[in-house]
Structure formats: C-alpha cells, structure tokens
Chain A
Amino acid sequence: GENVEQHPSTLSVQEGDSAVIKCTYSDSASNYFPWYKQELGKGPQLIIDIRSNVGEKKDQRIAVTLNKTAKHFSLHITETQPEDSAVYFCAASTETGGFKTIFGAGTRLFVKA
C-alpha cells in the first residue's frame, strides 16, 4: 500500500521567514496530494492541494510543488506568521484506491514572533 514520509518532524522559524516541508510517496498511482493544517484538539483543515497533472500551485503565501518522477511534493509557506504555528500533514490518495487518504507523520511548525 501507499506510504508517505514527511520531513522534518519539527520546524522552528522566525516570523517573516519561509518554511518548507517535504514529503515523498511510494505509490506511483497516487494522483491527489492535499496538505492539512491541524490545530490542537481539532480536525485537519485543508490548506492547499495539487493533482498529478500539475507541477506547482500557489495560494497567497502558500505554495505546493510536485515532482511525479521523483515522487516528491513540498509545501512552502512564505512570510510566516505566529498564527501559522500548527501541525502540518501531507497526504496522498489514489483514485483506484477509492481516494482513501494516507497521511505523512506530520510536521510541528513553530513560528517565533
């Protein structure tokens, strides 16, 4: 089955700096890659997603890149703010698998003011 690896597990940045989180996946059939932000005691919230026919997508301060050949995808947050502090999860899903979503281990992001 699908396996998603995520790095780093913890990331601390200064307010205003950029943060990058990287993930790799194992199933070449995966074709949908969402990123979630989870705050303490809450369910995950989708912040951006990318499909396999696209290499890059941007939404204001958040961007995601996908390299299908290498099976890598990354989340980039620019101009970080303290409210960006949370746990971020990458995920991969496959249409043939009924779109069940397999999550990475998560990255705890701390943005210091």
Chain B
Amino acid sequence: GAVVSQHPSWVICKSGTSVKIECRSLDFQATTMFWYRQFPKQSLMLMATSNEGSKATYEQGVEKDKFLINHASLTLSTLTVTSAHPEDSSFYICSARDNRGAGTEAFFGQGTRLTVV
C-alpha cells in the first residue's frame, strides 16, 4: 500500500510552547488528509479534515485556533499544537487519501506521541 510518513514520532515540549507535526504522503498525492487524536487505551477521535488548498474542517469540540492545520501541497499537511498544555499530551495520527481515484482507502502515518511537561 501507499506510504504516509509522520514526523516526529515522539516529542516532548514545555507547557506554553508550540509543536508542529508533519504528515507526508510519499508515493501518492493526498487530496485529503485527516488528523486524529488517541488517548491511552482509547479509540481514534477525528479532529479535522483538510483538503489541499482549503481551510480545514474541524470536528465539534476541537479548537481550530489551538490546533492549526495547514495542507498547502498535495503531499504535506502539518498540525501545530499552539500553547501546549499537559492535557494536550496524546498520540496524534494522520491519514491521507487521494480522492481522485476509485479507491476509498486512507493510509495512516505511524503516529506522533506528544508529551507536554
């Protein structure tokens, strides 16, 4: 299957700082990317959907000013956690798909574990 690379795989930051997570599609063009958040022993919760060149659509309860999403190219989307606090510590996962093809599968990155201290 197609490869989605997420970077970094883990990051520790101080409270009040911002952290950027990158999601790249390596061998296909991702017209749509999704960002998820997963707390320990819980399911993946969709945070937002971003289409290349458009503003992201956030799920209810997700603060768009806190979780900034940029999808400026067909192979890269970034999630910036601004003014991070310990409660933002979580596993963040992106997925990507090419809407132009017949397939419906979305390919997942390996995740980023964020720890805010």
Contacts from A to B (Cβ < 8 Å): 31-32, 34, 36, 41-46, 49, 51, 89, 93, 95, 98-106
Pick 16 A–B contacts, CB within 8 A, sort by A.
A34-B106, A42-B110, A42-B111, A43-B93, A43-B110, A43-B111, A44-B108, A45-B108, A46-B108, A89-B43, A98-B99, A99-B97, A100-B46, A101-B34, A101-B95, A103-B45
Q: Quick one: which of A32, A44, A93, A99 contacts B44, CB cutoff 8 A?
A: A44
Least CB separation from A42: chain B residue: B110
A98: chain B residues at CB < 8 Å are: 32, 49, 51, 57, 99
A104: chain B residues at CB < 8 Å are: 43
Q: Quick one: which of A34, A43, A95, A99 contacts B6, CB cutoff 8 A?
A: A43
Q: Quick one: which of A43, A49, A105 contacts B108, CB cutoff 8 A?
A: A43
A34: chain B residues at CB < 8 Å are: 105-106
Q: How far is the CA of A95 from the CA of B42 in the complex (A)?
A: 26
* Smallest CB separation, B30 vs chain A (Å): 12
Q: How far is the CA of A80 from the CA of B109 in the complex (A)?
A: 26
Known A44-B93, A46-B105, A89-B44: A99·B111 in contact at CB below 8 Å = no
